Structure 1
Amino acid sequence: MMPDEIIKDIKQLVSLPDVVLRANQLIDSPEADASAIGEVIGHDPALSAQLLKLVNSAFYNFPGQIETVSRAITLVGLNELRSLIFASKATQTFQQLAPEKIDMDVFWLRSVYCGIVAKKLASVLLEENGEAMFLTGLLHNIGTLILFSRLPEQAQLIVDQADQSGRSLAEVEKEVLGFDSAQLGSTLLESWRLPKKLWEPVRFQYHPEITATYQTETEILKLARQITDCVEPELKTGQPLELKKLQATAVNGVEPTTEQLEMIVTDANLESFDVLAIINPKATMIF
């Protein structure tokens, strides 16, 4: 099976709630405003509550309490709002897939961590708020869930071969399947009509140099993934961050300093559990 066929096969399992689809359409509409989008989101009380928890968390650290969705939209902006909506529904949307051989609590902690690091890299290195990067980082590895859910025997074979040979999972995936999990995940995101700026970095996260349009964003995602692999927050070992493991990775021609990386990691360590507690509260009980 090819990525398009696999995604078509699982679309019913990972379909988005109507409120998310409608809000996504409005965000892309030049005529929509915060009030109209807030009204749509208000039809889903659970989503509204999660959004308000997120904007009032350490993730944003606003000085005052944000009490309405429309006010939250005004403060964070429409593109950031899209990230928060999809983040709020992510664990619920993929719950139906939940492969037996993947610890979903660990999966979401790593995903949240990668998203926060990606957002902060954009802020530090590009001096922008990285509107799309949190969502890109959060969803960068959903192809693995799809792969283990739909092709579990091949997925396990790939893991075993990668472990035995020392090669990357992506390399073995392409050898065995003809595509990798990054392509699989990005195909799903594209089918959801998310902007290309969100799904293209996911598709080319292992090779930013061949990205058609969004090379800078793809470089950020690659570095965020490498930092997450170094830190391994789910292990909570208390060991110092091994920055030496990082490959030299430049973003838009600029390599982050050790001080910048340490600051990003420190902030992500503090914020990741707060965000996880909102989008997947059951997971935080085991850490």
Structure 2
Amino acid sequence: MGALGWMAFAVALALLAGVGAWLLVLALRSSVESEAEDGDASGSPNDAEEGGEEESAAIEIPDGRTLLRSLYALAFEDAGPAPALAFAQADAHEAIAAACANLLARTEFQARHMPRRPQLLPKLMRAINDPDASLEKIAKVIGEDPALSANLLRVANSPFYRVREKPVESLVRAAAMLGLDGLRPVVAAALVQPVMQTGDNAFGRLPVLIWDHTQLAADFASGLVRGGRGQEDAFAAQMLGLLNGLGAIIVAQVLRDNYALHPQLRPDPQVVARVLDEQAAPMAHRIAIEWELSDRIGVALDAQRLDVAPDDPLGRALCAGRVAASLAMLRKHGKLGDDGARAMLSNWALAQGIDDAGLLRLWDRLPA
């Protein structure tokens, strides 16, 4: 397998994060079904947690780009604090950043390493977005791919969904247990998720960190548009978030390969985070074009500027989802308390002219 072979799609792949990671995503996803029925906002941001730092965080309006770069930098924590860079080293890091950007933009690189569109994607998208399609029909399409079928059964047999001791062995029954709203994101993630090389070093931890954030961001984005714009847009938002994460995974691999050419150079977390931030959405847009997805997916990807929420509805939902997911991940890794992170999310949304009620309802349904 080549240097980028780990990105080859395995539609048949079991989600690497395992059932445990899916429980986090599915717990948020299942509760979103009642979003349109919940007319009342879920209260004001809680009081800040004990300590001056939490009180400060509760009134802070975070910058989305800073949050995301802080999240990416977590993969490098075990290496200790980054040493002060000499001028020569700083130039070397910038040269690596420039080389990555140049490589990702080259037509020959894209032709050679662009992920192939999953064969079932067009057919599944038509079936899932068809309001008249039954769960039996969708299950029949899923049954055309053994690995996708296995993944659906794996989720249906997880503790979150399984209600009987006897295992679920029928795709139709599995689809009925998840329901249409639960089925859409499971199928989308199974189609889009890359095969990732993992390990104990920073570039081994980074892909898992990116994908955990990706799934949460996609679920937030899907939940935000579910009530007001219909199921088709909710699925588009889910795909949009997953594609953006896939672009980030590819960029992370290119960074890893370029740093491997300079073994004497310790990766700079800030440079890595900046390149991921700058290159993930353009790479995802190229994938969307290659996969012949709708133009609005490309427009929404181009709009990913986390310091300013875009006007485009899908792009705006993903922007908010990525900020919410970044705060959730930083909370999960002990960098923020729950009350402080929740207040930061509310303040960011209000500063962007976004009604924070929907975001906070989704946030409050995350597992503690």
* TM-score bucket (shorter structure): 0.5 to 0.7
Aligned equivalents of 1:266, 1:192: Cα separation in 2: 35
Identity rate of aligned residues, in percent?
18
Name the aligned partner's letter for residue 68 of structure 1. L
Which of 141, 147, 151 is the equivalent residue of 1:46?
147
Q: Identify the range of structure 1 (235-244 vs 215-224) with the bigger mean alpha-carbon deviation.
A: 235-244
Could you tell me whether the CA contact under 8 Å between 2:185 and 2:238 is conserved in 1? yes
Give unmatched runs, 5+ long, in structure 1. 174-179, 271-287
Aligned equivalents of 1:154, 1:195: Cα separation in 2: 35
- How far off is 1:140 after superposition? 2.1
Could you tell me whether the CA contact under 8 Å between 1:147 and 1:181 is conserved in 2? yes
**1:196 equivalent in structure 2:** 295
Which of 227, 243, 263 is the equivalent residue of 2:324?
227
**1:23 equivalent in structure 2:** 123
- How far off is 1:157 after superposition? 7.4
**2:235 equivalent in structure 1:** 131
Could you tell me whether the CA contact under 8 Å between 2:192 and 2:246 is conserved in 1? no
**2:24 equivalent in structure 1:** none
Which of 68, 82, 87 is the equivalent residue of 2:189?
87
- How far off is 1:51 after superposition? 2.9
Cα gap change, 1:7 to 1:28, in 2 (>3 Å): farther
Asked whether 1:110 is paired with 2:236, we answer no
Give unmatched runs, 5+ long, in structure 2. 1-101, 261-265
Name the aligned partner's letter for residue 23 of structure 1. K
Cα gap change, 1:264 to 1:36, in 2 (>3 Å): closer
SS of the equivalent of 1:142 reads helix
**1:101 equivalent in structure 2:** 203
Which structure's relative contact order is higher, taking Cα pairs within 8 Å and 6+ residues apart?
2
**2:284 equivalent in structure 1:** 185
Name the aligned partner's letter for residue 321 of structure 2. A
Could you tell me whether the CA contact under 8 Å between 1:116 and 1:134 is conserved in 2? yes
SS of the equivalent of 1:95 reads coil
Could you tell me whether the CA contact under 8 Å between 2:282 and 2:302 is conserved in 1? yes
Q: How many residue pairs end up in the alignment?
A: 246
**Correspondence list, 1:115-194, <5 A:** 115-123=218-226, 126=228, 128-129=230-231, 130-152=234-256, 153=258, 159-161=269-271, 173=278, 180-194=279-293
- How far off is 1:204 after superposition? 1.7
- How far off is 1:221 after superposition? 0.6
Aligned equivalents of 1:122, 1:266: Cα separation in 2: 17
RMSD: 4.6
**1:68 equivalent in structure 2:** 171
Per-residue CA shift, 1:245-268, capped at 9, x if unaligned?
3464479964223xx433311324
Asked whether 1:264 is paired with 2:362, we answer yes
Name the aligned partner's letter for residue 222 of structure 2. K
- How far off is 1:95 after superposition? 2.8
Q: Identify the range of structure 1 (93-102 vs 236-245) with the bigger mean alpha-carbon deviation.
A: 93-102
Cα gap change, 1:160 to 1:207, in 2 (>3 Å): closer
Task: Give the TM-score taking structure 1 as reference length.
Answer: 0.63
Aligned equivalents of 1:9, 1:97: Cα separation in 2: 22
SS of the equivalent of 2:367 reads helix
Could you tell me whether the CA contact under 8 Å between 1:26 and 1:37 is conserved in 2? no
Cα gap change, 1:22 to 1:199, in 2 (>3 Å): same
- How far off is 1:202 after superposition? 2.5
- How far off is 1:244 after superposition? 3.8
- How far off is 1:81 after superposition? 6.1
Greater C-alpha Rg:
2
**Correspondence list, 1:231-270, <5 A:** 231-232=328-329, 234-235=332-333, 239-241=337-339, 242-246=341-345, 248-249=348-349, 254-257=354-357, 260-269=358-367
